[in-house]
Structure formats: C-alpha cells, structure tokens
A and B are shown apart, each in its own frame.
Chain A
Amino acid sequence: MPGQQTQTVSLFIQCLVDVMYPEVGVAMLKIFRKLGIPVDCPTNQTCCGQPAYNSGYRQQARTAARKFIEIFEHKEVIVCPSGSCVTTVRHHYPDLLSDEPDWHRRAETVSGKTFELTQYLVDVLGIDDLGARYSGKLTYHDSCHALRALGLQEQPRRLISNVTGAELVEMNDSDRCCGFGGSFAIKYPDISTAMAKDKVDNIIATGANAVVGVDISCLMNIQGLLNRKKSPVKILHIAELLAG
C-alpha cells in the first residue's frame, strides 16, 4: 500500500507497559525504526480508561476517553501493543460518548485509526516477516479482546511463524481466558487463579520456552503464576519477539 507506509505512527502505550513493562514499548519502537516508519509518542498520555469502564465507572471512563481523544485525534495513525486497550478505543469510546454528538464524532475519528500492533503490521502494512530471530519453542496465548473483539487469530501466528529459529507449538485451549479480567483477578482471586492454573498447565504441557501474547495484562497474570511455581517458562510480548 504505497502512501500508507509513510504515515507517522503515534505510539499509544498501554499504562501497564508504560509503568511496569517499558521494554515492550521500546521493542515496538525498534520494530517501527527497523521498518523505517516515522514514529512519535505523546508523552502526556496515561491510561485509556478501560479499568474504569470495565468496572462500571462510566463517568470516570469518559474523563479518560476525552483526554485520550484530545491527545490523539490529530495523529495520522495510532498503534498500541495491547488488544484490549485498542478494543476500548475502537469499540467502547463511541458508545461511551454517544450522548455528546461532538465528542462522539471525535471518538469515531480516533477509533477508526487506532490499531493493535499485529493488526497494523499484517492487515494495514501487509508485513508478516520482520526478519526477527529466536531460538526455541514458543506457544501463543490468544488474549480475549484481541481474538474476539478485534478478530486477531492468524495475524500474530503468521508473524511468529516467520521468526527464524522459532518453533510455534499450539497449546490446548489457547483461546480460553487466562482469568485476568482486570479487577476480577483481585476481587475473585480464587476463580481467577483456578482459570490461570489451567492456562499455565496448558502452556507448560507444550514444552515451550516462552508464551507469547499481544496483551501484557494476560501475560502479567500468567507470569505471576509461572513465577510462583518457579517454572522456567518465560512470558514474551510479541513486540519483544519481533524486535529480536
């Protein structure tokens, strides 16, 4: 797609990546630099508001949405390393602001140009090989919102399969929720843990060195349990894999 590639990508950095896993953002930056795509990053961004929205705090989520829109509405294209944050912007912002015509219109504008990283690479840019290298077996966890709200199933797998030296081994029930669910993980820890245990068992059964995902929130949950079990299996955000 000529023309598309010259668009400047504005980094929409998930808050968890910003404050806990900055290496994922750095990796995403490396990917765009490697592709020769101009990048900018509004440094006054914070959180898209998903935690408030998912907990029913719509007024507070609207505050976050308006702030996000103000920051990003004039950008050419917005790319984020998280399927669930992109779902919030793409699917929930327009609903959240549906009673305010001006904001609704602005939300629609932003929502139409916000993409998850693998979605942008594969569906928009048509790139499924980044020339990355990895040595060992990998398995892929389908994050719920990336899979069901954004339809990302083939895109990440194609990218992983083209990593030299990486062997992708499918786990059982890769499309089953890991049990994170935001505040659910804290309010209903027993149920959340039971779900996470199944996920971790399925990951370990593949014999993979690492589990790859497109959402650090799921990976954080999985890492929490893997570490508690002292399992050698690592978590790997797809940006880190593709930057390698």
Chain B
Amino acid sequence: MAEIRTEHYKSEARKAIKDRTLQGALADVQDRLGKGTAKAYRELPEGPGLRLKAHEIRMQAVENLDILLETLAENVRENGGKVIFAEDAAAAVTECLEIARRHEVRTVVKGKSMVTEEIGLNEALTAAGMEVTETDLGEYIIQLAGESPSHIIAPAIHKTRQQVGRLFAEKLGIPYTEDPPTLTQAARKALREKFLAADMGISGCNLACAETGHITTVSNEGNIRMATTLPRVHVAFMGMERVVARLEDHDILFRLLARGAAAQHMAGYISYIGGPRQPGHADGPDAFYLIIIDNGRSRILADEDFREMLCCIRCAACLNVCPVYGKIGGHSYGYPYSGPVGAVVTPLLVGIDRAKHLFMGETLCGACKDACPVDIDIPRMLLALRARLVEGDRRWNTPPGNLVEKSAYTAWSLAIRNRSLYDGLRWLSAQAQQLMTARDGMIHRLPFPFSGWTRSRDMKPLARKTFMQHWKEMQKE
C-alpha cells in the first residue's frame, strides 16, 4: 500500500485526472458531502463557533495526553479489559497476532479502521493463516477487489455500481446486477455468515473517554456493533491521540464528527464499549483488548508546530472540499490517509523528506480549514512542513533541502532589496521574452523550469513598462 514517491504521486494523479468515472465520482462526493457539511455547520444551533470549542477540547486532550491515557488505561482495566501500548506498527501487529494465537482465532471480522490500515494489520493476519473480512460495505468491496481505500470514510467511491456488480458476480457467485439494494443485500447475507462464524472482532476507536474507560465506535451500517459483540474476542486499535477527558466532550465532538464526515446530524450507530461481557449481560465478547498505538505520534506531539494535527478525528471533511483531492483521488497519496489530512499526517508519520510531494502538491487554498469540525489549521502546517523541508531538521531525519532552489531564492531575496538591480533583471527577462511572444501577444512556450505552465496554458509576457515607470511618468504630468 505504501507507495510514497513524488513520481508515483504525479503519475497516479495523471491517471486519476484522465479517469472520467473517477472524476464523476469525486465531483459527486464533494458536491454532496462538501456542500452538505458546510450547510450542516451553518444549521448548528450554537453556530459555526462550536468548531472552535471542539478545537479547544481536542487541543486540551492532546496537551494532557499522558494523564488521559493513563486514566483511560486504568478505567478500561477496571472494567475487565486489557490495555496494551504499542510503540510502533510492528509491535501493534505482533501483539494482535499473539492475542489471536492465545485465543485460537481462525476467522476475523473487522469494522472500518484507518489505523489498522496504517499498521498493515490485514496483511499480517492473513499471512498468519487467518481469514480476515472487512464488514463495512465499502471496505468489503475493495477487499474483494484487492484494492486499498481511496477515501477515509467512503473507501470505495472510486468504484461504480457496474464494477461492484461484476465484482460480486465473480466473488460471491450471484447473478450480475447493478441494482444497489440487491448488491447491498448480497453483501449483507455474505457478511452475516462471517459475523456469526468469527472468532475475533477488530475495530478502531473514534474517541475514547478517559473518565469512564470507554472506547467508542461510530458507523452508519451497524456492522461495527456486530463485529464487536458477536465474536469471542474483541481487539480495538486506537491511535494514541484519540481520547478526550470527559463524556460530555463526546457530545460536541460526535455531533461535529457526523456533520464533518457525512453531513449528518448524528451517525446511525454509536457504541460505547468499556470491556468484555459482564455477568448478566446478554452479549459481548469474553475478552476485550485495547491496543494504543504510538507509531510516530509522540514525535508529532513533541513538535509545537505540528501538535495540532493530533486533534484530527479522521472525519474526512477536508477531503470533501479539497480541490486537489477532488481531481487526483485518494490513491495518488500512496498511504491510507489522503487529502489535506494525508498531506500533513503522512509526512509526519513516514518522513518529511520522503513524502514532500504531499505538502508541496497543494495550493494552500484554505478550504480544508473551514471544513474541519475541529478547526485544524492545515494550511499553516503545510507551510511549516515546507519550511522544515527547506531548513532541514534532524528530529525528522530531514536533510536541508534542494541547494539549487535555495540559491535561486537567495539570489531573488537580494534582487528584491535593490530596485535598480531588480529593474535590470526584469529588463533582461523582458528582452528574452520578446523572442518567445507569439503573434497573439501571449507566450505559448516557456523554457524550464517554467515549461510546466505553458504545457497547457499561455502566459502574458512582461509589460514594456512597469507600473513604477508609469507612476513616475504620471507624476511629471
């Protein structure tokens, strides 16, 4: 899954732009959800300012993470659950495999969880001989197709119902149909059998509550509730930042999460899970494990510039308004997190230098910030990442950036301090441009490094006189 290279980003983006079906699907999801979310915020009785309150709640949690995690762990253990802290992806996967071995697990059902995508859990469980079934409809589709999610909450938006119809005919052995209700029923039937047979249920965690020791799962299909109550063992994975102090904080955050994610007032199913089945309970697992994953988050927490990113609740509202995501789709990002959130989180998790194309390949338009239910300033962090890339930072294993480009900017910074020098350089460029200017008065082809512009666009040449020259002449009049 992780394919994080500049060339991959550019070539996948080109592919996506040419894919008419994908373009239609992206436009549709952005039109419905992007605009729907903005409307849902406007309709909040407390007004859009509630997002600022949510930001405060999340930031406070992030800044007190050590205490909150300790309290959470204590309370989960008191409820009879087991809590494991995993330093990195490998540790988290190993712990899960060990749990599966201990409980003699052969089949696993999963609720949608981005963090398990991040740590590559499915591959590891499958390699260990287990059968793993994704139970979110979108995730199920892409699992059958052998693909990866292209959107954080709508993982299969890149597939048409015709494609799903063919896929289900082939994999589920049903007659071909492109009727969504029939396809959904077929998936439901297949998944019910998996739920009933599964030994282990795996879920993510939308937000944990420290004071009560609960994790929460949110879904619109009810699948996570089944995956976490039917099997003997429930293992929940959470990124270590996904906790808040009080139950009352959940009220605000879940109302905003539902608006940000799906332009809903409230999600269909919200479960609070606080441990294994207690005596007298009708259902629930015999054993409950909570695996809390660091995997680079401590490093983000330690950096004042990027700590704010840990407020993210992975709702994907930023994807639904991002004009870049809207053209290139999720797969271009080469990692489970796509869109603006991916452009910041992925470099912080895998390396600033390695994933630089993600934060360079954005326009800083700011739509993501306005859409974020917890008001995260993503554009500020895109700029901060660019500055780190240029300056280099040993804490992030990032060497100082491109020396040629740096020299060019340094030369530029000298030229702009001296108007005569600036005018001289401008005059030289204007002379050169005269040779490039076509009969329509525009430049149709520019040399490197500006050739990217004229591949698809024309450019007006430099004016014969600058405004400053006009001004001086007008003063004489």
Residue positions of A touching B, CB distance < 8 A: 11, 13, 17-22, 24-26, 29, 41, 43-47, 49, 51-61, 63-64, 67, 144-145, 148-149, 175-177, 179-182, 184-196, 198, 220-221, 223-225, 227-228
Contact = CB atoms under 8 A, between A and B. Distances in A.
Given A25-B471, A184-B360, A224 B459 contact: yes
B457 interface: yes
Interface of B: 10, 13-14, 17, 323-324, 327-328, 360-367, 369-370, 383, 385-391, 401, 405-406, 409-410, 412-417, 419, 422, 426, 440, 442, 444, 449-450, 452-453, 455-463, 465-472, 474
Given A51-B412, A56-B383, A220-B460, 4 more contacts: A57-B390, A144-B367, A184-B362, A223-B460
Contacts of B360: 184, 187-188
Contact of A189 (B364, B453, B459, B470): B453
Nearest to B31: A173
A60 B412 contact: yes
State the 10 A-B residue pairs at the shortest beta-carbon distance, nearest first: A224-B457, A56-B386, A181-B363, A189-B452, A25-B467, A177-B365, A60-B413, A22-B467, A56-B390, A148-B366
Given A191-B327, A194-B327, A20 B460 contact: yes
A58 B392 CA distance: 12
A202 B373 CA distance: 28
Contacts of A227: 440, 442, 457-458
B457 A196 contact: yes
A169 B471 CA distance: 34
24 contacts: A18-B467, A20-B460, A29-B474, A43-B472, A46-B415, A54-B386, A56-B391, A58-B390, A58-B391, A59-B413, A63-B417, A145-B366, A148-B365, A175-B367, A179-B363, A182-B364, A185-B452, A189-B455, A191-B17, A193-B456, A195-B327, A223-B458, A227-B440, A227-B458
A209 B42 CA distance: 34
Q: Which of A19, A145, A179 has the most CB of B within 10 A?
A: A19
Contacts, number: 191
Contacts of B14: 190
Contacts of A179: 323, 363
A228 B457 contact: yes
Contact of A195 (B324, B385, B414, B452): B324
Nearest to B456: A193
Q: Which of B13, B444, B459 has the most CB of A within 10 A?
A: B459
B371 to A, nearest CB: 11
A41 B417 CA distance: 17
B10 A190 contact: yes
Given A22-B465, A60-B412, A53 B419 contact: no
Contact of A186 (B453, B465, B471): B453
A52 B412 contact: yes
A64 B323 CA distance: 30
A99 to B, nearest CB: 13
Contacts of B387: 56-58
Nearest to B359: A56
A58 B409 CA distance: 10
A134 to B, nearest CB: 21
A189 B456 contact: yes
Contacts of B465: 22
Nearest to A62: B413
A196 B459 CA distance: 14
A12 to B, nearest CB: 11
A46 B416 contact: yes
Contacts of A225: 456-457
A53 B413 CA distance: 11
A220 B409 CA distance: 22
B409 A148 contact: no
B136 to A, nearest CB: 29
B409 A57 contact: yes
A188 B327 CA distance: 12
A224 B458 contact: yes
Contact of A21 (B328, B405, B440, B460): B460
A188 to B, nearest CB: 5
A163 B67 CA distance: 61
